A = this chain, B = another copy of it.
Amino acid sequence: MSVTLQDVQTALERIKGYVHLTPLEQHQSLSDVSGAKLWFKSENKQKCGAFKARGAHHALANLTQEQLARGVATHSSGNHGAALALAARRFGTQAFVVMPSNAPMPKRQATLAYGATVIECEPTLAARETALLECVERTGAVFVPPYDHPDIIAGQGTLALEMLEQNSNLDVILVPVGGGGMLAGVSLAVKALRPEIKVIGVEPFGADDAKRSFLTGQHVLQHHPDTIADGLRTTLGALNFALIRDYTDDIVTVTDAQIIAAMKLYMTRAKALVEPSGIVGLAAVLADPDRFAGQQVGIVISGGNVDLEHPVWL
């Protein structure tokens, strides 16, 4: 059940043509402010506006024709649902997406626009799992997990392979962590290829289950997330925890106020949209500049699907 570098490399081959090779961008004025040399992996410019397109397309590429014919189902607060909906359309099948009632409207709309059936539920993990189980039993669709699955981990890890190709001089890579699929995939890929590069997970102070799990070695399963970063409220997955424990160097937290300040700064200087979950890496650098001073820092901008009608800072 574990995941290897080979899996990530194979995933990259399989998703080519389905997802974008996103740019690794510099913004001089942001580097100037931070005191580090920043390289932004712009997954906000990925298909669906988030890195989730990688894992979803990879998972479907690995299904058999018989499985695809049954449809696919998942639960998601947003980006994985939209990504699965798009991937399902590309692979000629139907997606069923269980979404909590508090999912951001644009992510819900995108999921619908890609042709998925959205099933609304209460915003608890229990309600999501119950609704998903009902859906799978009723439709026969194949469950495609949002983060705690080898195909998803290998898919998200592909962005690390691109980053190492795009800049061979990175000292550290900062990765948002919610369910942990991306951090697990990036960590294992980087450590296999370039063990001297530090991989640091970043999560909101109000949803620090990954940090507590990482520090204590005990998987924190229950927590009550309180953060504007809607994509990072999910609980760390078990498979992901095992990989993160083995391959990640550190996990740090940032406050919602730091997230908002980093969002505004990035949007103003980079002229690009970023969602709260997507900017935690920059927030971490600005919160602890001494730690990163003078280094070549890769920051994964994981998504850009913001609700324009409800800016989080207003």
- Which residues of A come within 8 Å of B, CB atoms? 44-45, 49, 106, 264, 267-268, 271-273, 304, 308-309, 311, 313-314
Determine whether the beta carbon of B268 is less than 8 Å from that of A271: no
Residues in chain B near residue A45, CB distance under 8 A? 271
Give the CA-CA distance A127 to B213 in the complex, in Å. 63
Partner of A314, one of B264, B271, B273, B314: B314
Give complex CA distance A286, B313 in Å.
30
- Report A68 CB to chain B, min CB distance, Å: 24
Q: What residues on B are CB-neighbors of A311 within 8 Å?
A: 308, 311, 314
Chain B residues with CB under 8 A of A49: 271
Q: Is the pair B313, A268 in contact by a Cβ cutoff of 8 Å?
A: no
Q: Is the CB of B268 within 8 A of A106?
A: yes
Give the shortest distance, in Å, between A313 (CB) and chain B (any CB).
7
Instruction: Give this chain's copy count.
Output: 2
Cα distance A304–B268 in the bound complex, in angstroms: 8
Q: Are B308 and A271 in contact (CB under 8 A)?
A: no
Query: How far, in angstroms, from A273 to B106 measured CA to CA in the complex?
Result: 17
- Within 8 Å by CB of A308, from B106, B309, B313, lies B313
**How near does chain B come to A35, taking the closest CB pair, in angstroms?**
17
The CA-CA distance from A308 to B272 in the complex, in Å, is 12
**Can you list 15 residue pairs at the A/B interface with Cβ under 8 Å?**
A44-B271, A45-B271, A49-B271, A106-B268, A267-B308, A268-B308, A271-B272, A271-B273, A272-B272, A273-B273, A308-B311, A308-B313, A309-B313, A311-B314, A314-B314
A44-B271, A49-B271, A314-B314 known, 16 other contacts, Cβ within 8 Å: A45-B271, A106-B268, A267-B273, A267-B308, A268-B308, A271-B272, A271-B273, A271-B304, A272-B272, A272-B273, A273-B273, A308-B311, A308-B313, A309-B314, A311-B311, A311-B314
Residue on B nearest A29 in the bound complex, by CB: B113
Q: Given the complex of chains A and B, what is the CA–CA distance between A314 and B271 in angstroms?
A: 20
> What CA separation (Å) do A24 and B262 show in the bound complex?
28
- Closest-CB distance, A87 to chain B (whole angstroms): 16
- Closest chain B residue to A43, Cβ basis: B271
Bound CA–CA A313/B304 (angstroms): 19
Interface hub of A264, A268, A271, A309 (most chain B Cβ within 10 A) = A271
Query: Chain B residues near A272 (CB, 8 Å)?
Result: 271-273
Residue of B nearest to A46 (CB): B271
Chain B residues with CB below 8 A from A106, complex form: 268
| Distance of A108 Cα from B272 Cα, bound (Å) | 20
The smallest C-beta distance from A50 to any residue of chain B, in angstroms, reads: 10
